[in-house]
Structure 1
Amino acid sequence: MTTENLPLVVMGHLTIDEIRMSSGLVHESTIGGAAAYSALGGFLAGGDVVVISRVGSSYPLDRFRLVHPDGGTVDISETLILPGESTKNIAWYGEDGTRRWDILNPDTMHIQTPTPEDADRVERGQWVLVCPASLEQQEALVDRLRARGARIALDTEIHYLTDPDAMERLSALTSRVDCFLPSREHITHLTGYAGDDAGRIAELLDRFGSPRVVLKCGASGVLASDRERPGELLSVPGVERIDVIDPTGAGDSFDGGFLAGLSRGESVADAIAGGCVAASFVIQAIGLTVPAEFSSAETTRRRETVRGRVAVHQTFTKAREKVNNR
């Protein structure tokens, strides 16, 4: 089997969430977690996804049986069922779009994070998404996955980046992965920069040392820096004019859709477009759901619209020059 035929592996949390919208609407007992939404994004992008996670005995894994003639596949057979409760969260959304997560049982979440031993089921050359977890847990996973010869993509979350040395530790970690997938919120939190200058953004992305950094900018789309294309910052827009039902999981589902594309050999621009389209479908439903709007025809229409608006910003940074000359 070639590496282009290997399924995407997603390693991360599966949770049961209560989503509290700014309108007062509450979505209870929603299937959530970064691994769940990433798997859904990969499915909607037509990819084959394997979820490696750990859950409590009452977790409704049967709800991962996603079926649609235009979708991919999701395999949960590698998820370990542990005795006891599952990880539970409450998500609070503000009127300005900000959100806050309250983890109701953090000790359970820690126990139910995939371990380095779980990484031993990954094949050489296989794309693996390491979902948000503590830096210690991500460092251990990345070390084992590198030893396995996997291709590693890394995402993170702000509540894991509160220590004064977080930027230094994260940069050391991201320099050891093949792709870093931060959000604009993460970059602003870590660097203090919230502007739109392409050169400045490229310089900040280069600080992380990863050969490829894909910056998620919400509804505005994605900016991408790639070592193979020095001096360029790729700009891919989001999908416009869609009815948003629940924005939860947009970034995670982008990760899954994007990496599903890379796993089957798509170009970076095409894979990013696929990730943007997958995320646009996910936010049109609640939780682990295939929205009514999803179809191959609508997927094609959205992808073509996004690809037709891709732009390239010419920029070059001293940090990128240093990376390229290693």
Structure 2
Amino acid sequence: MGAEATLVTTTNSNSGEAPLVLGLQAAALIDHVARVDWSLLDQLPGERGGSIPVAIEELEHILKEVKTHVISSPDESLPMKTMAGGSVANTIRGLSAGFGVSCGIIGACGDDEQGQLFVSNMSSHAVNLERLRMKKGSTAQCVCLVDESGNRTMRPCLSSAVKLHPKEDDLTRADFKGCKWLLMRYAIFNIEVIQAAIKVAKQEGLLVSLDLASFEMVRNYKSPLLQLLESGNIDLCFANEDEATELLRGRNGEHDADPEAALEFLGKHCQWAVVTLGSNGCIAKHGKEIVRVPAIGEANAIDATGAGDLFAGGFLYGLVRGLSLEECCKVGSCSGGTVIRSLGGEVPPESWQWMYKQMQIKGLPLPDIQL
């Protein structure tokens, strides 16, 4: 693990019991989420809706500016929410908190205030953190600015953050032993960690789930992504419409590949393939079966942050429970609809109750836990 790393221990850790689903997030992340007016977004370099890495000084400057540009809302108790963030953390936290699935996370956080916030937030939702390494240094942060239309502009600060290093023995077979699923998000700067984790996971017989992250990541780093997919080691792949079509763009002369073609391609290499279509729901493939399921809860969308992450959690819950492909998609759609009803990627209790009601209406099996 490296001399500077220690294991995180919390009161909610289930020592000796391997989590059913293990999420790989090489660098722990803290999200600062606020709804702001247009004038702040106009001051920032880069396009609205984009994600541009920033230095810590700029991140701190933006956080100060948020205080004078925040839009208060009667249904939000705080003008800015701070929580554990990152796609994998969102999915794992949702699976544990809303569905009662045994989950853990493997990654690294800094020995700073943000690292403690990450540990506190995830452990409060019963996520097993025994595989989270605490290292000397800073924890990654991201400012998520939500405009009046519900669109988000992100400014992550990642460059100086601590993260897992496979060459420092941060990944061992013991970390994966007894788990059933490894959940990951594609990122080129973590490609060595991803490759090492897949290798160990397959040695221990785990199923591997991969989220394609963003169309920019797919476009700019398509070759290593295709190698991962074509290796046959990815059992489940999640992509949104933009990521899916970008994956096939330029392949075999295609310029305007549709989501269905992308689903067919993913289905050749993965046991399960899912393409989410925003307000149009999703399409999914398992073997020769293909299903299409409409979206749920779009009318009340406030912030799209985490919608795909929570969809993935619901779909995985369905697989764990042995549900049909269509039922997995329906649970995913219900789950994705929970998080868009409030700011940030963390689902409040009232939104989980909304989801349970939707699941009941659709005749889907409810989790054993009820909040």
User: What TM-score range do you get, normalising by the shorter chain?
Assistant: 0.7 to 0.9
**Partner of residue 77, structure 1:** 130
| Deviation of the 1:17 alpha carbon | 2.3
Helix, strand or coil at the partner of 1:106? coil
Asked whether 1:152 is paired with 2:200, we answer no
| Deviation of the 1:236 alpha carbon | 1.9
Deviations 1:9-47 (A, max 9, x none): 212143112346574448464431122211232121332
Out of 61, 64, 78, the position equivalent to 2:122 is 64
**Partner of residue 90, structure 2:** 37
1:74-153 aligned at under 5 Å gives the runs 74-91=127-144, 101-108=154-161, 111-112=163-164, 117-118=171-172, 120-124=174-178, 126-134=180-188, 135-153=191-209
After superposition, the Cα gap between the structure-2 partners of 1:101 and 1:9, relative to the gap in structure 1 and judged at 3 Å, is: same
**Partner of residue 50, structure 2:** none
Measured in 2, the distance between the counterparts of 1:225 and 1:92 equals 34
TM-score by length of 2: 0.67
**Partner of residue 16, structure 1:** 30
C-alpha contact 2:87 2:309 (8 A) present in aligned 1: yes
Out of 248, 252, 256, the position equivalent to 1:191 is 248
What stretches of structure 1 of length at least 5 have no aligned partner? 68-72, 309-326
Deviations 1:88-112 (A, max 9, x none): 2234567887655443223526x24
C-alpha contact 1:17 1:32 (8 A) present in aligned 2: yes
1:208-247 aligned at under 5 Å gives the runs 209-227=269-287, 230=288, 232-240=289-297, 242-247=299-304
1:246-285 aligned at under 5 Å gives the runs 246-285=303-342
C-alpha contact 1:34 1:132 (8 A) present in aligned 2: no
**Partner of residue 47, structure 2:** none
Q: Which amino acid aligns with 1:278?
A: S
After superposition, the Cα gap between the structure-2 partners of 1:118 and 1:214, relative to the gap in structure 1 and judged at 3 Å, is: farther
Measured in 1, the distance between the counterparts of 2:165 and 2:277 equals 27
Asked whether 1:203 is paired with 2:203, we answer no
| Deviation of the 1:305 alpha carbon | 4.9
Q: Aligned pair count?
A: 291
C-alpha contact 2:91 2:310 (8 A) present in aligned 1: yes
Measured in 1, the distance between the counterparts of 2:324 and 2:30 equals 35
| Deviation of the 1:290 alpha carbon | 3.7
Measured in 1, the distance between the counterparts of 2:352 and 2:221 equals 44
Identity of aligned residues (%): 21
Measured in 2, the distance between the counterparts of 1:116 and 1:146 equals 17
After superposition, the Cα gap between the structure-2 partners of 1:103 and 1:139, relative to the gap in structure 1 and judged at 3 Å, is: same
Deviations 1:171-199 (A, max 9, x none): 335x312111122121122223667674x
Deviations 1:116-144 (A, max 9, x none): 61563223561221233323332221111
After superposition, the Cα gap between the structure-2 partners of 1:35 and 1:167, relative to the gap in structure 1 and judged at 3 Å, is: closer
After superposition, the Cα gap between the structure-2 partners of 1:125 and 1:289, relative to the gap in structure 1 and judged at 3 Å, is: closer
Measured in 1, the distance between the counterparts of 2:292 and 2:239 equals 15
Deviations 1:288-309 (A, max 9, x none): 644242355x33431255579x
What stretches of structure 2 of length at least 5 have no aligned partner? 1-17, 39-69, 71-78, 250-254, 365-371
Q: Which amino acid aligns with 2:201?
A: L
Higher alpha-carbon deviation: 75-84 or 98-107 = 98-107
TM-score by length of 1: 0.75
